[in-house]
Each structure stands twice: as C-alpha cells, then as structure tokens.
Structure 1
Amino acid sequence: MNAPSPDIPFTAERQRAVVAALRTALPAHCVLFNEEDTRPYECDGLTAYRQLPMVVALPETEAQVVAVLQACRALQVPIVPRGAGTGLSGGAMPIADGIVLSTAKMNRIVAVDANARIAVVQPGVRNLAISEAAAKHGLYYAPDPSSQIACTIAGNVAENSGGVHCLKYGLTVHNVMGVRMVSIDGEIVELGGGALDAPGLDLLAVFIGSEGMLGVVTEVTVKLIPKPPVARVIMASFDNVVRGADAVASVIAAGIIPAGLEMMDRTSARMVEPFCKAGYDIDAEAILLCESDGLAEEVEEEIGRMSAVLKQSGATAIAVSQNEAERMRFWSGRKNAFPAAGRISPDYYCMDGTIPRKRLAEVLLGIAAMESKYELRCANVFHAGDGNLHPLILFDANLPGQFHRAEQFGEEILALCVEVGGTITGEHGVGIEKIDSMCAQFSVQEVAAFIGVKRAFDTAFLLNPNKAIPTLDRCAAYGKRQARGGLFKFVKG
C-alpha cells in the first residue's frame, strides 16, 4: 500500500489561511511568507534542488511547536522540519504547498550535569556549542561532523550524523540518551532519558535517523565523555590507492580501534593543501590519518603499533603530530575538504555510501572507472575506518548535461555500494537525493514496512512527506526503468 500525501494546492487564498492560523500560534515576526523572507529556506546543503516554501514558521518555545503542529494538522498542511540547513541530501527542501518549521530560535543549553555526564539542550543548539559548554568540566560531546561549527543537534538526530571520530565513539544514536519531541497531533512524547535504559520499546533508536518524518524535536539529552588528556595523529602516505585501502583493514584486523581513521586520495589532497596548508604529500596516491587518544602511555603504545602496521602495509612516508597545533593542522585538510572543492571546480556533488572495509579498494577502483565513463572527476575523502564514503563528484552546472551526468555517476556509486554488501547512506540521510536508490536496496516488503512505521507516527503523512521512503509505485517505476537501462538491479519482493 502506498503512503498518502497531501494534495491541497498552493494558492494565495490557501497561504493567507495558513498564515492566519500560524499567527494565532506564533508572534507575527515568527511567521515568514514574503518571498524575500522565505528565499533563504528554499534548500539545504544540496543546493541543486530548490523550492520556495509557502510559509516559514520560527517557534521559540515547545508550546509554540505544539500549536504550530496542531494548526497544520487541522488544515492538512505538510511540514518540513529544519535545523541549520547544513544537510546534504535535500531532507530539508521545502514543499510548495507546505511550511518549513525551523527550530533555529530554540538554541538554549538547558543544563550540563558533570556528575551524570549529560547535557540537556534545545534543538537549535549547535553541535560544537555543546562541547564548548562542557569544556570547563573536562567533558565534550563526541560526534563531530565536518559542519559541527554550524549544524544543530536536532539535525544531527534527524540524520544520525557521525564525524571523523565516529569509529571509536559512535554515531549520534550511540551518544544521545533521550529526545523530547512533538507528534503531528501536538502530543509531547519523551523517548529515552537521562538513565542508562528506559522502559518499553526502544523507539529512540527508531526516531534517530528518521529525517523529520516522525516528529519535531524540542529537547535532546546527550552523553558527555571525558576529554582525553593526549591525542596524536599519524599521517601516512601511500603510492597506491589499493595499498592505502588495504592498510585500513589491516589496522582494524590488528585489533586497533583508532579514535579516527580517515582516507583522502591524491585529488582531494591536492584540492585542500593550497587551501589549508596541512602538510599533505600531494604526490601520494592516498593519505591516511590515524588518530590515537587517551593517557600518554596508551597513546604512545598505540601510535607505535599503528605505525608498524602502516609500514608493513606499504606506507611510503609516516609523520606523527608532535603537539596539539600540529594535530589540528593535520586534521584541517580533512575537515575542510568540502569547501576546498570550490578551488578546483565550480560545483560538486557529495555522495554518501557505506561499504564493508574489506571492499574499499574494489569500490575505489570502481569509482575511478566511472570517472572515465561519465567524463567527470571525483575526489574521494571519507571515514575509512567505518567504510563511510564521501566521493565528491566535480562538475560545472553551467555546462549542459553535466549535472545530469553527475547524478547518474552518484547513483551508480550507490548501486556499487549495495552490490558489495553496503548501504546507500552512512550519515547524510536519504532525503530526496537517494530516494530512488532506496528502491535498489530494499524489497517491496521492506519498503512497505518502512511506510508502516511512518504511518504509526504520522497517520496523515504530513511530516516531511515524499522524503526518505519511496512509494511502492515509485519503486515499481524505478525497477522498470533500470531493467530497461540495464545499469542496476531492482530488488523484487
């Protein structure tokens, strides 16, 4: 059975009715509807897809969130929840006849409990601000996506964000203890909490990564951990991408779980080095960044073990950070890979797939072959330790057909990820970008189960509709298209 979607068209009369209803729930300055005010909300970090929203709502309190959802439920208005808009899959792209509900104004840190090692924060609090608030207690929040200076905790919850240290410390789902959210019916629901366990079904794990389709976050309780006294990073160069990829598997096979294990190919190293001056070997075919943290003795021993494994794996050069400034310099290139892409290409399309570590070399070689096929360059920079790829497909949107080729390139990368036993996303989410690829990975029965979960939380299908979960009709059409094109398999139920 397909998911229903609202079909009330956007008209000026409709917009006036929605604005009037929202103004009973919010102060006038928190309701935006003129084009010059709504234009900044037309897309998220996936800027290739844009749509002006009918109205933007900016609640400042949980009570106002409740009132907005109740008003929209009564009028059958679709709602797109939005954090900072740094997402890269189009999950926060507006719907023409709907509203964007931004939680940016709800940005207060409610409490930091150093004894319990938790922080309670509102949805609009920036990821990095949590660690800044906890720093005086010697604590920090571990997940560190590259956008952590700007992205908000509710957006992290929606996408189950990770970061360069997710190999050792986990994704958002491993570091969030509780979420307070509002359902489409305006009911306040608490999932998890400050304790180590909560009664009933583990709906918290279902909610995290649900991309705004199940409820609107109004408060998050996160786990804080002690800041390691010492952290050092190895920068290893390889003259062959395959050897670099195999070295990743060798480090893990040796029983070592680095704090971070990242890989960049030569294209990405040459892209970021002039921008960050991180000291990267721009002649290497691949660079690995392997971090160790903990007590000084632990770090010294682990750095030695990792260095030995990397040398045995064929590293042509190894450098180890000698102080905190050098460590941060080594990481600066990896953290700034996305903005640095603008130095060598007018546009880039950032993909996000996850594969088994042992298949890294195979997939990187496959991507290299696709570069020739689609006549587009691709810079590979990714969380190698957990197999989360972020290929940056470089193109020029001003040249006819290039963006379409970039989309096809990205779709084939995701198909390859599925083929080798991986998934179509690691942390960016499905949004609108990968909705067809969902049909490639999951059977009709599995997609129907996803729709069933959505229906259990949102019977009206008003929360972020037509995102993340494809309709069964869409999957059927996708299967026919791919069978005819002969590019990908369609998983039939």
Structure 2
Amino acid sequence: MPATVPDASPDIEAAAAAFAATFRRDQLITDPAGLRTYECDGLSAFRVRPALVLLADSTEDVVAAVRICTTYGVCFVPRGAGTGLSGGALPQANGVVISTARMRKVLSIDPDNRRMTVQPGMANSAVSAAAESHGLYFAPDPSSQIVCSVGGNVAENSGGAHCLKYGFTTNHIHAITVVTPTGEVVRLGGSSADPVGPDLLGVFIGSEGTLGIVTEITVRLLVRPIAVRTLVADFATAEQAADAVSGLVSHGVIPAAVEMLDQLAISAVETATRAGYNRDAGAALVIELDGFDAAVGEEFTITERLCRDNHASNIRIAQSPAERDLIWKGRKSAFAAMGRISPAYLVQDGVIPRTKLAEVLTRIAELATAAGLRVANVFHAGDGNLHPLVLFDSDDAEETERAEQLSTAIAELCVTFGGSLSGEHGIGADKACSMPTMFSGDDLETMQRVRAAFDPAGLANPDKIFPTPRLCGERSGKYRPHPLELTGRIGRG
C-alpha cells in the first residue's frame, strides 16, 4: 500500500504552470523567501521548502488544486494555521502546500440545534466567540486555541484542557465536507449524532491530512455552564500531585479539567505571565469543575479534601472570573514560556493510564538524568495525556541529538506502560518510526489499506504516520531497538 511519494516522477513544472493559469497571483507563493514560511509547522526541527503554496479561498479552489496535483502526479500537503507539533504539515520538496488559512468564515449558525458550520481556517477560539451571544461555546480548547484552526483540530483530533469531561474534537463534530485525494467533494457525517452507515467521519477525524482536505465543518455547540470553580493545589512533588489525580477520579469526581505543571514549568510560566503560581511548589494541579451550582459546590468540597489528603501544601481558589482567567493564561502559555528557561525544546505527546502517572513521571526524570538534560512537564493529568518538554540548546549538535533520542524514548515509554504514542498532537513525521512499538505489522497494513482506499496514488500528505525506509534511517525490515533500550534504560511493551 502506498505510504510515500509514488515511483512515477512528478511533473512539478507542468503543475506549477497549471496553478499559474488557474489561480490569481495573490493566491500563489513561489518565491524562495515566501516559501520559507511554510517549510515547517510548530515542530521546527524538521524543515523542507515546498515547490509552491496555494492560499485557497473556497472548496472549489481546493478541488482545482487537488485535480492539478493528481493530473501531474504531484503530492500535496494540507496546512491550516501551522501550529501542529508533530511535523504533520511538513512539505515535500517537489510538492504543493494547500493552505486553508484564508478560509475562516462562519457559513451558518443554528442555535436551536446547537450547531455551527465554519470553514477550516477559522481559529478554534473564534468559534466560541461567534456563538457567545447565543450562550453557546465550542468545547475543545487546545492551548493554542487563539491561533490554531478548526481544520487542524479535525486533522489531529485535538483535545485541550477540558477534554477530561467533554472529550476530543471527534465528540464535537456533526459533519464535514471533504475534498478527497482524487478531487471529489464528499460529505461525511450528518445532522444526527449517529448517522446510518459506516463511521467515515470517525475515520477521517485524526487522519492528519492523509485522507483528504476538509473545507467545511459542522461543529456541535454546548450551553455554557451555570457554575464554574477553579483551584490551584501545590504539592511537594509531581508524584504526590499524580496520586491526588488518581484519588480524585477514583472517588467519582470528573472535573472539567485537571492540569499539572512541575517545578520547571511553574518557573517558566511565572517568569512569563506572573499568573500567581507558587515557584516553591514541586508541582501544581489546576482543577476546574463546572455544571449546576449544587453539584459543583459538593464536588468542589470533595476535591479540596482529596487534595489535602494527598499532602497539598497550599490551595488557591479563584475568587473571580478575572483570577480564573489569569490561572488559565499561565497554564496555556506554558509552551511559549519555555523560552524563558531554555534556548529550545521538543514537546512530546504520549498517553498513559492515570494510575501510572507517578511511576511514569519518575521514569521520565530518570531518562532525563541519564541523557544529561532537563524535562519540564505540563500536561492534561486527568486523562493521562503527557506533554513532556525536553529542554536543550539547538546550537549544540550533540545535545540536539540527545534531546531527539530522549524525546523518542519518552514517547515509546508511554507505550511500554500501556498507553499510546499520541493523545492529540498526532504522529506526523516526528513519531512515524515509533509506530511499530505500538502496532503490529498486520495493524499497520490494515491502516495502509484504509489510506489507500481514499488515496490510491499516495499523493495526500505522504511520509506521515507510517514508518518508511526513507524516514527511518533508509533501512527497512524488523523493529530496531532504540539506543536507550539497548542500555536497559527503557523497555519495549
């Protein structure tokens, strides 16, 4: 099944001429300086300059672009805001980037049925802003929500801080309009929550641009909760904070969000935002409950008690919406704040069982010590979605190599503990070579068959998700152990 660019040589020059004849000049980027803007996404360690970028305005533009690529055998990479963190929008040198960033209109809103149809370039937070006058909002809330696009949320199945209670993007999409890799326009999903037939909508969400390009999205809106209460609990160690999370959920309390920051992350956040986190704490939990007044009040009392029972040294309760916003500003600024304590970082995105949080955090610390590097942890503790940030100096080639190896080791460690390689950032180019640690050859072959059913020519976002010889050291064959596995520092599940 095709996973990379087809063997037939693409005719990029003919394709470029066809693009020039089809689209306005202001829609095309071909100059080297302009193309550099699109050579990577948020994972800047991987960079490839594309041959051409199209700034699409409509579904019709995307159809025309895909058909040109199909005609001339040229691969294409969909791109939204470019905030992805797994290299999912990494271009091909002889390929085209099809950007939907200009497509950011609200196409319709149906407040009675709590639905809105938007174009894929609309920012995540802009959806909630457009629904605010109706008392509604869009629940998925990635930390980059003021800039990341809804189309990117669909591609990666993004979650955010409140996914513990409200789920991921897939739980909030009714239907999408897709341009397939063969240039057809199809509608997946429908007006009902569970339409008849195969769940092709579920197949597409999280497919990272490998099955087509989404051009319209009908999102599910929720009614804003009546009561919201937020606290920050300080702990001496990250392990104690992790135990508090397990205790909370085991008692049947499901907060809207449970986030954790370790001491390194707190230091960066406080330096950048002055959000009021305690720099002396070994770790902090941000816990938010929402719903009806009576239920929130009762659960908040239980939450406070459980935090104290698990050795919380201090509990700060937000006394106003402004204070709550400041707490969340600190948490959601964490990635950007790392620049205050390190020249560069790599962010990982693995998932583990909640009950393994304390143990895995200890193992991550051991791996970091062995690699001679620092790791800051800030993540969605409630659902075990880790976001370890490996800090390093990108000007030091040897240190950069160690950072990349450590980042990979942490992702694969999550699999060893019964978790997965990604919760919401996707596999992209970053973790494609780790897929055999989680999936068998038969699993990967089945996934490739699904991909080939949508994209028989292998032109849609090639070299993503699946391991290939070109990506994985130009070598094919059986699983190769990671260098840290050979030393006995990590195991393989």
TM range (shorter): over 0.9
Report the AA paired with residue 418 of structure 1: V
Task: Give the alignment partner of residue 358 of structure 2, picking from 344, 349, 361.
Answer: 361
Contact 1:348 1:395 in 2 (8 A): yes
Q: Judging changes above 3 Å, is the alpha-carbon distance between structure 1 residues 140 and 385 closer, same or farther for their aligned structure 2 residues?
A: same
Change (3 A) 1:490 1:322: closer
C-alpha distance in structure 2 between counterparts of 1:443 and 1:250, whole Å: 34
Inter-partner Cα distance in structure 2 for 1:481 and 1:287: 35
1:39-92 residue CA offsets vs partner (Å, 9 max, x unmatched): 110100001111100110112111111111111101010000000000000000
Which deviations, in whole Å up to 9, do the C-alpha atoms of 1:275-325 show, x marking residues without a partner?
Answer: 111111111111001101123322222211111111111111111111101
Q: Does structure 2 conserve the Cα–Cα contact (< 8 Å) formed by 1:179 and 1:192?
A: yes
Q: Is the 8 A contact 1:415 1:437 kept in 2?
A: yes
1:74 to 53, 71, 76: 71
Match in the other structure for 1:111: 108
Q: Which residue of 84, 88, 92 maps to 1:91? A: 88
Displacement of 1:465: 0.6
Deviation digits for residues 212-267 of structure 1, max 9, x if unmatched? 00011010000000111221111111112211101101110010110110011111
Q: Note if contact 1:444-1:472 (Cα within 8 Å) is conserved in structure 2.
A: no
Give the direction of change, closer, same or farther, for the CA distance of 1:445–1:360 in structure 2 (3 Å limit): same
Which structure 2 residues correspond to residues 212-251 of structure 1 after superposition, within 5 A? 212-251=209-248
Question: Which residue in 1 is equivalent to 2:275?
Answer: 278
Further displaced range: 273-282 or 334-343: 273-282
How far apart are the structure 1 equivalents of 2:294 and 2:318?
16
Q: Distance between the aligned counterparts of 2:411 and 2:16, measured in 1?
A: 41
C-alpha separation in 1, matches of 2:447 and 2:216? 25
State how far apart, in whole Å, the 1-side matches of 2:82 and 2:172 are: 22
Q: Are the structure 2 counterparts of residues 158 and 219 from structure 1 closer, same or farther at C-alpha, using a change threshold of 3 Å?
A: same
Q: For the residues of structure 1 that align with 2:450 and 2:347, how far apart are their CA atoms?
A: 29
Amino acid at match of 1:365: T
Question: Per the alignment, in what secondary structure is the counterpart of residue 100 of structure 1?
Answer: strand
CA contact (8 A) 1:483 1:490 kept: no
Q: Would you say the 8 A contact 1:234–1:303 is kept in 2?
A: no
What is the match of residue 303 of structure 2? 306
The separation in 2 between residues aligned to 1:295 and 1:211, in whole angstroms, is: 37
Matches of 2:7 and 2:447 in 1, distance apart?
22
Secondary structure of the 1:131 match is helix
- Map 1:77-476 → 2, pairs under 5 A: 77-471=74-468, 476=476
Q: Which moved more, 1:157-166 or 1:292-301?
A: 292-301
Assess if the C-alpha contact under 8 Å between 1:15 and 1:55 holds in 2. Answer: no
Distance 2:482 2:291 in 1: 49
Q: Is the 8 A contact 2:180 2:213 kept in 1?
A: yes
Asked whether the 8 Å contact 2:412–2:492 carries over to 1, the reply is no
**How far apart, in 1, do the equivalents of 2:102 and 2:266 lie?**
38
**2-structure distance, mates of 1:460, 1:364:** 43
The aligned residue for residue 42 of structure 1 is 39
CA distance in 2, matches of 1:214, 1:369: 39
Q: Distance in 2 between matches of 1:483 and 1:236?
A: 38
Give the TM-score normalised by the residue count of structure 1.
0.96
The offset of 1:445, in angstroms, is 0.8
Structure-2 change in CA distance of 1:472 and 1:34 (3 Å) = closer
The 8 Å contact of residues 43 and 49 in structure 1, kept in 2 or not, is answered as yes
- Amino-acid identity (%): 46
Q: 1:316 to 1:412 in 2, by over 3 A?
A: same
The letter for the 2-side match of 1:263 is M
**Secondary structure, counterpart of 1:231 in structure 2:** strand
C-alpha contact (below 8 Å) 1:232/1:323 kept by paired residues: no
Contact 2:351 2:385 in 1 (8 A): yes
Aligned residue pairs total 488
Contact 1:30 1:59 in 2 (8 A): yes
Q: Distance in 1 between matches of 2:111 and 2:371?
A: 53
Compared CA separation, residues 277 and 482, structure 1 to 2 (3 A): closer
* Bigger Cα displacement from structure 2, 38-47 vs 21-30: 21-30
| SS across alignment from 1:264 | strand
Kindly indicate whether the alpha-carbon contact (under 8 Å) linking 2:261 and 2:285 is maintained by their aligned counterparts in 1.
Answer: yes
CA distance in 2, matches of 1:174, 1:382: 21
Question: What secondary structure, in the 3-state scheme, does the structure 1 residue paired with 2:258 have?
Answer: strand
Give the 4+ runs in structure 1 shifted more than 3 A. Answer: 1-4, 7-10, 471-478, 480-485, 487-491
Q: Which AA in structure 2 matches 1:190?
A: R
Measured in 2, the distance between the counterparts of 1:306 and 1:253 equals: 12
Q: Measured at CA, do residues 436 and 304 of structure 1 come closer, stay the same or move farther in structure 2, by a change above 3 Å?
A: same
Match of 2:53 in 1: 56
**Aligned equivalents of 2:252, 2:485: Cα separation in 1:** 44
Equivalent-residue separation in structure 2 for 1:203 and 1:86 (angstroms): 26
Partners of 1:460 and 1:483 in 2: CA distance: 35
Return the match for 1:65 from 62, 76, 79. Answer: 62
In structure 2, C-alpha distance between the alignment counterparts of 1:8 and 1:108, rounded to whole Å: 38
Residues in 1 aligned to 2:426 and 2:348: alpha-carbon distance in whole angstroms: 10
Q: Distance in 2 between matches of 1:61 and 1:141?
A: 23
Matches of 1:180 and 1:15, distance apart in 2? 27
Q: Secondary structure at the match of 1:480?
A: coil
Indicate if the aligned counterparts of 2:485 and 2:491 stay in contact, CA closer than 8 A.
Answer: no
Kindly indicate whether the alpha-carbon contact (under 8 Å) linking 1:236 and 1:288 is maintained by their aligned counterparts in 2.
Answer: yes
C-alpha displacement of 1:484: 11
- Higher alpha-carbon deviation: 325-334 or 475-484: 475-484
Residue 26 (str. 1) matches residue 17 (str. 2): no
For the residues of structure 2 that align with 1:364 and 1:287, how far apart are their CA atoms? 14
With 267-276 and 458-467 compared, the bigger mean Cα shift is at: 267-276
CA contact (8 A) 2:12 2:95 kept: no
Shift of 1:399: 1.4
Structure 1: 5+ residue stretches without partners: none
Stretch moving more, 18-27 or 1-10: 1-10
Classify 1:303/1:489 alpha carbon distance in 2 versus 1 (closer, same or farther; 3 Å): closer
Distance of 2:4 and 2:341 partners within structure 1 = 44
Counterpart CA distance in 2 for 1:171 and 1:54 is 34
